[in-house]
Amino acid sequence: MKAAVFQGTEHIEIKDWEAPAVGSKEVKLRVKCCGICGTDQHIYHGYPGSAEVTAPIVLGHELAGEIVAVGDEVTTLQVGDRVSVDPNIYCGNCYFCRNGKVHLCDNLQAVGVTRDGGMGEYCVVPVANCYLLPDEMSWIEGAMIEPLGCVLHGYKKLDIRKAHQVLIIGGGFIGQLFLQLVKAAGVKGIIVSEPEVFKHDRLVELGADEAVSPAAEGVMEALHHQFDIVIECVGRADSMELAVKASRKGGQVLMFGVASPDTLIQVSPFEIFTKELNIMGSFINPYTHEESIALIEKGIVQIESLISHQFSLKDIPEIMGEYPKLRVSKGIIVHER
């Protein structure tokens, strides 16, 4: 098969690549669609993903496809089934797995991170990680179940109430998913801070009461101490520092954006103390696939209108290096057939 193989920092090649044999509890997929995640960009530039990456490997952990082969012990799915993949594989034996926090597994493995993923024509995955897609759901929606599941995990950490004022920092794909979930909760008000002004009208269409540019005069100061909930979706030091400053007393701050490991922020412990802030992180997507499928199926969350770029597999070596310049909100690989 053809695959975009990560060979090391800032080096991906299209190669003839052999898919592994299908294990007894595994299935082989013909990949139909694969998302390009910010984590893929982190890995490309030499940082770890959800787990340590060892090259050469096929990246791509947001994927959906058609089953073309099943292992001897597979009874729940069959050839021809359309599935979305939860990439995360937990050991079941470590402290965290045995205490209900599987996503913090000490031995976490993941499709597209520690084993070959969706940036190839075929992919072999555990049957336990496959979720059947409704017939009417598109391949694009199926591949985007994974990032929606990550967002849903973070969303569930928040105590959201009707009277709350919410600030979402970052109006890209992840911020747009959070926006739709928060809007569905019926909160009092939602503001999105997004520097790319061309996104503002779309953010209002998706449910924001207002979209503001943090670079505009007076905006940053106007956001301080105003919000019951602040959701940071960027992973930059300045946006994470803003998240703390923007929260009012008793506020909740969700740090969702993936920062580089060497990023540090300056936060006043006195401010956390006097505001009695609840600051939370959110990591991957433990068992959120079924609910995410339902959110799309019921029309609560839109997906396809959020996709800004579609690429073919052969484009990957070039576009991964140029990604920051392309102004991609969300990019996907549509596999040619």
For the annotated catalytic residues, the residue numbers are 39, 42
Please name which of 110, 76, 104, 84 lies closest in space to residue 92, comparing C-alpha atoms.
104
Q: How many CB atoms neighbour CB 189 within 10 A?
A: 15
Using CA atoms, how far apart are residues 132 and 283, in angstroms rounded to an integer? 24
On whether the CB atoms of residues 12 and 44 are closer than 8 A, the answer is yes
How far is residue 335's CA from residue 22's CA, in Å, rounded to a whole number? 21
Q: Are strands 165-169 and 227-232 parallel, antiparallel or unpaired?
A: parallel
Contacts of 254 (CB under 8 A, 6+ apart): 154, 157, 158, 229, 230, 231, 232, 280, 281, 282
Grouping H, G, I as helix, E, B as strand and the rest as coil, residue 93 is coil
Q: Which of 19, 32, 226, 78 is nearest to 209 (CA)?
A: 226
Other Cβ atoms closer than 10 A to 60: 30
Structure tokens at 72: 């001897």
Distance, CA of 63 to CA of 88 (rounded, Å): 12
Beta bridge partners of 36: 331
Amino acid at 333: I
Please report which helix (H) or strand (E) contains residue 318, including its range: helix 316-322
